[in-house]
Structure 1
Amino acid sequence: MSKVTILVTLEPTDPDAQPFRDAISADPVLCESVELHFATGDAVAKPIAQAEIAWCGNLSPTMIDKAQRLRWISFWSAGVDGKITPQLLERRFLLTTASGVHGANIGEHIMAWMLMFTREMHFHVRSQAAGEWRRSPSMSSVSELGGQTLGIVGYGRIGEGLAVRAKAFGMRVVALKRNPALRYNENVTVDHLYAPSELRQLLAESDHVCISLPLTPDTYHLFNAETLSSMKPTAYLYNVARGKIVDEQALITALQEGRIAGAGLDVFEQEPLAADSPLWKLENVIITPHTAGQTPYYFVRAAELFAENLHRYLRGETLHNLYRHERGY
């Protein structure tokens, strides 16, 4: 039986290619069933003509045209906004993502923001940069996470990764989920699970609100002036999802007028964030340049997920993280 040809769009010498070799070589079934080819740039043209599966960041329209044997594209990103083209849909490819590999690192990123705001570290970092010995403006501005409520808007793998870490700090955790029946880790529990129609209730009771939703037509500017008005003036907002889920101007206004206490932002409506954006100078904002997803273990976890999906593909089973056009992710 001929082997299934897989194109991986990494250089053969790229250290990130090794986890994929390891995942295949350590598995007798996959070793016998698949063959990996690594290539980037113009060198992709030859192997993609024979490939049945591609694991990639993206593929150009020209390369898609050459891929006459291709059946499955596995994107190594968690989100696919901007990647799902009419050309891909017309070819009826199986399309999957690496959703789920970010749970640990993004969960820790959000915890870092919460700890910084709760312990006024953002204030002290600015004082240090200015060479000034300043204490927090008031004792009441310093708090503890224990007993506070975290609201997670989008309770997927990132949400579960955050929930288990927040629970370790003694926080109360509530979450919003489109499909409550779809869970990834049944051992991670929350204090209450809300439906999408109950977003305002979640916001009203949360001291910290984390956005971990996919960007779809339904979630575009979900957090607008009206939505933000449901948050406590003492609450903090964190966005690690996509910038366009938040109406950035409405957020800036809410932050400037003290309608919410602060924000930790990793994503923005336009990236890089414009140098003249008011967000840079707001003292109640902590900005990271779309780096919450960074981790040295990214491709190790992605390779494990891909290997598991390969088994499902070879058995003719439904793939994990399969893109559904009707829901937008």
Structure 2
Amino acid sequence: MSTSSYAPPLATLLSCSLCVVIHVSVLVFDLSSFHYTLSPRLIIYLFPPGDLFRLLTSPYFHGSIMHLGMNMMSTAYLSTVLEKKFGTLPTLHLILALTLLVSSLHTFISFLAYCNPLYSTQKFMLEHSLGYSGVIFTFAILETSTSRVQSRSIYGLFEVPTQLYPWVLLILIQVLMPNISFLGHLSGILVGTLIVNGVLDKSIFPSPDFFRYIEEETRLVPTRVKNHELYVKVPDNFRGISKENEDATNSLFALIVKASSFALKFVRNIVEAVLVITGLGGGGSSPSAPRSTEMTARNAALAAERRALMSDENT
């Protein structure tokens, strides 16, 4: 039996293996994960130099075997799907970029919440979070944005539209496990949404031709690695990770327009996710159509009655 028939692709395997090795090291050598967590307060207020390393270390440490197992199962599926679409080299670059981006956005939002003049809170600044969940939620956004499946099952309980799947999970997981880092998961979703809408992809993600050049024209990727059955070469039809692909532009006007569009989509997705969970949404516009028709007919009847009365008065 071929190794590739049961093992994930190379980039996915490396990221999962790193998380497992780190957790085993914590258990064997009795290390304290507290020194590697994402702590916005320690990152910001000790700068310089600050604990900037926490931006990179926090995703790869986990609080328990169950925490590790759940994250790695999700990573193995989502990262494998993306790696087969993008290739191993772009996926490795994506993982490294997301590790830093999600942690940085988490820290930035925590600082904004603390400096908010209307309602300042230290809650997020004082949190210590860890785990790969933020990156996983970004993976989920990237995967669902290109999926042809119309709906997804939530733990076999109910179906939701594919595009809303990460948002529904965000809210549902927080309701079931309120002690987890909501901001960490939300940061992953926000980063993914910004990427697929063309706001971040050009600034953090080189063109597919760049990765093809590294594979074919340089010695940065050894021949043994490129020929390995777990290595996925950049597909010929791969044009980029955003919805706009190579047509995306980084002009200031375009970024403002995209940011505004993203803000509207963010609010809409949150509202729709809440409606789906509470059972008030997900049925489309059909339930409200009869009522709208009924109201229109009633208004027309009332208008006709008023015209008849006015006609009688005039005569």
The TM-score, its normalising length taken from structure 1, stands at: 0.25
The TM-score with structure 2 as length reference comes to: 0.26
Larger radius of gyration: 2
Whose helix proportion is higher, 1 or 2?
A: 2
More strand by share: 1
Higher relative contact order (CA 8 A, sep 6+): 2
